[in-house]
Amino acid sequence: MSGLELRSHRFRAEREADWRRLERLLAKAERGRAASLSEDELIALPLLYRTVVSSLSVARATSLDASLIAYLEGLATRSYFFVYGARTRLRERLAHFFRVAWPAAIKDLWRETAVAGLILVAAAIVGYVLVTQDPDWYGSILPGGMAQGRDPTASTAALKAVLYDSHQRKGLSVFATFLFTHNAQVSILAFALGFAFCVPTALLIAGNGLTLGALLALYASRGLGLQLCGWLFIHGVTELFATILAGAAGFRIGWAVMFPGERTRLDAAAAAGRTAGAAMGGVVIMLIVAGVLEGFGRQLIQIDWARWSIAGVTLTIWLAYFYLPRRRTG
């Protein structure tokens, strides 16, 4: 027997009992019987894992045989994922996301959310004022493809038909789908481009606000402002809130890139991305909810007060879900 083989044999003989015990516990857990592990076995697992890691470190440092090192690497990897990896079921992870992770991420982004909301509102006011004072601005803010015939040249009856006339339902669906798709794209891009020092995110949110303000100015000029708001906000509360939150997530990443502090920009962006990513996961869900409201609620409900009521209830639910204090869970 060579010197290397002798050292490996002695090394294995001194420690193999712990390795085998860890293997048995892992095999038991991996067969779906983790709940059957006793308290002593659960306590022993991390201790045995550290023993394997220590053995692996010694084996590498002393250049023991490759087969032993490969065995220890595999055992260490298996035990790492059991000891430190997430072992919750998908249902539990989803429950934790909706109950804890998502609202906590949104609450943490409250400053960025306030900034994004202010940009949207300010831009909407600017768009409203510009079109009110000079209707020619409407074509600059909403080109023909976006307006789809809803422009200052349209008659009041045609504009009103978009909101109520059941015979215009097909055109209504096309225009509503266009608005939803546009806002969804803005939300995703506002988040994705936040790393570019927040500038594209701010411009996208401002552009969305200008569009909203211009559209409101057009309908208000025909005495249909409140009716348009009911038509838009039955789903727009959720959709615009999602856009604001996506912008807030983008701002969080962009701010981390601009001012990383003592960390590198990459590390700062990664840390910000954990909160922003959780928020964006929820934004996608909000856009789905908005799509359902747009596809059914707004198409079927033709009464103004009912539309406004649904918008108000929706806003109340989102604000309560995100910002009301909740009991801490252990």
Instruction: Tokens 């992770």: give the residue.
Output: 101
Contact by Cβ (8 Å): 50, 90:
no
Average pLDDT on 33-57 reads: 80
CA–CA separation, 107 and 97 (whole Å)? 14
Contact by Cβ (8 Å): 287, 241:
no
Q: What percent of the chain has pLDDT over 90?
A: 42
Residue range 95-126, pLDDT digits in tens: 889 999 999 999 999 999 999 999 999 999 99
Range among 11-20, 220-229, 285-294 with highest mean pLDDT value:
220-229
The answer on pLDDT for 322 being more than 90 is yes
The answer on pLDDT for 185 being more than 80 is yes
Average pLDDT on 288-293 reads: 85
What's the confidence (pLDDT) of residue 330?
44
Residue range 233-245, pLDDT digits in tens: 998 999 999 999 9
Instruction: Tokens 């596809």: give the residue.
Output: 295
pLDDT level of residue 4 (50, 70, 90 thresholds): low
What's the confidence (pLDDT) of residue 237?
95
The answer on pLDDT for 127 being more than 90 is yes
Residue range 223-232, pLDDT digits in tens: 999 999 999 9
Higher pLDDT pick, 20 / 42:
20
Contact by Cβ (8 Å): 76, 16:
no
Contact by Cβ (8 Å): 34, 94:
no
Helix, strand, coil fractions of the chain, as percent rounded to 5: 85, 0, 15
Give the pair of three-digit tokens for residue 136. Answer: 């020619």
Domain ranges, ordered by start, for the chain: 3-87, 93-323
What's the confidence (pLDDT) of residue 314?
96
The answer on pLDDT for 175 being more than 80 is no
Contact by Cβ (8 Å): 250, 194:
yes
Q: Assign 23 to helix, strand or coil.
A: helix
The answer on pLDDT for 209 being more than 90 is yes
**Residue 168 CB: number of other CB atoms within 10 A?**
15
Indicate the residue type of 281: G
Q: Is 325 left (phi over 0), alpha (psi -120 to 50) or beta?
A: beta
Give 228's contacts (C-beta < 8 A, 6+ positions apart): 163, 215, 216, 219, 220
Give 278's contacts (C-beta < 8 A, 6+ positions apart): 97, 101, 102, 104, 105
Question: Does an H or E element contain 307, and which?
Answer: helix 304-323
Average pLDDT on 149-153 reads: 81
pLDDT level of residue 167 (50, 70, 90 thresholds): very low
